[in-house]
Amino acid sequence: MPKKSKQSSSLVTESDKSKKTKELIYRTAIRLFQEVGFEEATMRMIASEAGLALGSAYYYFATKEDIVLYFYEISQEYAKTNNEEFCNSTKDLKLRIRNIILSRIDYFSNYQNLVSVLASRAGDPRHRLSPFSPETAHLREEAIGMIRYAMESSNQKLSKEISVNLPELIWLYQLGIIYFWVFKSELKRERTVQVVDESLDLIFRLIRISNLPLLKSFFSSLFRFIRLVRDGK
């Protein structure tokens, strides 16, 4: 019986040198996006600043947008780890959601110039850097899944309908808070924290009374409307 050929060649991981080169290009690009602007920075400029040939930069990232998508992935990995660690410290859902939002803002605060540019593209789902684009769909699902994990492992009692719809609604709410923070950057962080705390109080009051007969009908209608807008059905 003939021996099976080894598949190791198809499972080759990046070498340490390759990883370091990719990281160098990424860090250089993010710094230039911050310092000179996303539009102004070119792949040639990034390669030159990194001390590499232009072809090397294109080998790891075909476009500047690919660098930003990598930035999204790294920020998502950080958010997931942070969320899991925080969830180990409390079962309170409101505190968990608060941490998800504020830790994301704290992370983005190191890249505020870049995030401001990206936020201006967010509303167009055809733009590949939009949180609503096909290219960011997996990151969107991961972010919603992170909220779902925080919800399902909490001590918060929720109706089935609320449980199904809440993760995506909280994700949209988080985007709104991030845009508020971006476009009100002249305000101190404390103002954003205040907005988060006040709005979360309101959200969780609504959750608490969502099972009352009159409001239950209202929420059912609201969720049907959201599905109609989102899915067309």
Distance CA 108, CA 115 (A): 7
What's the predicted TM-score (pTM) here? 0.85
CATH 1.10.220.10 fits 16-62, yes or no: no
pLDDT for position 13 = 55
Distance CA 175, CA 177 (A): 5
Q: At a CB cut-off of 8 Å and minimum separation 6, what does 155 contact?
A: 91, 92, 93
pLDDT for position 95 = 98
Distance CA 182, CA 163 (A): 29
pLDDT at 227 over 80: no
CATH dotted code for 64-207 = 1.10.357.10
Domain range summary for the chain, segments of one domain joined by +: 16-62, 64-207
pLDDT for position 211 = 75
pLDDT for position 178 = 93
Q: Determine phi and psi for 212, rounding to 5 degrees.
A: -65, 140
pLDDT at 158 over 70: yes
- Percent pLDDT > 90 in the chain is 64
pLDDT at 148 over 50: yes
Least confident window among 30-34, 154-158, 186-190: 186-190
User: Per residue in 159-214, pLDDT tens?
Assistant: 888 899 999 999 999 999 999 998 876 667 888 999 999 999 999 998 888 877 77
pLDDT for position 187 = 66
Provide the phi-psi class of 232: left if phi over 0, else alpha when psi is between -120 and 50, else beta: left
CB atoms near residue 2 (< 10 Å): 4
Q: pLDDT band at residue 233, thresholds of 50, 70 and 90?
A: low
Whose tokens are 């979360």? That residue is 200
pLDDT for position 186 = 65
User: Per residue in 95-145, pLDDT tens?
Assistant: 999 999 999 999 999 998 889 888 888 888 889 999 999 999 999 999 999
Averaged pLDDT of the chain: 88
pLDDT for position 131 = 92
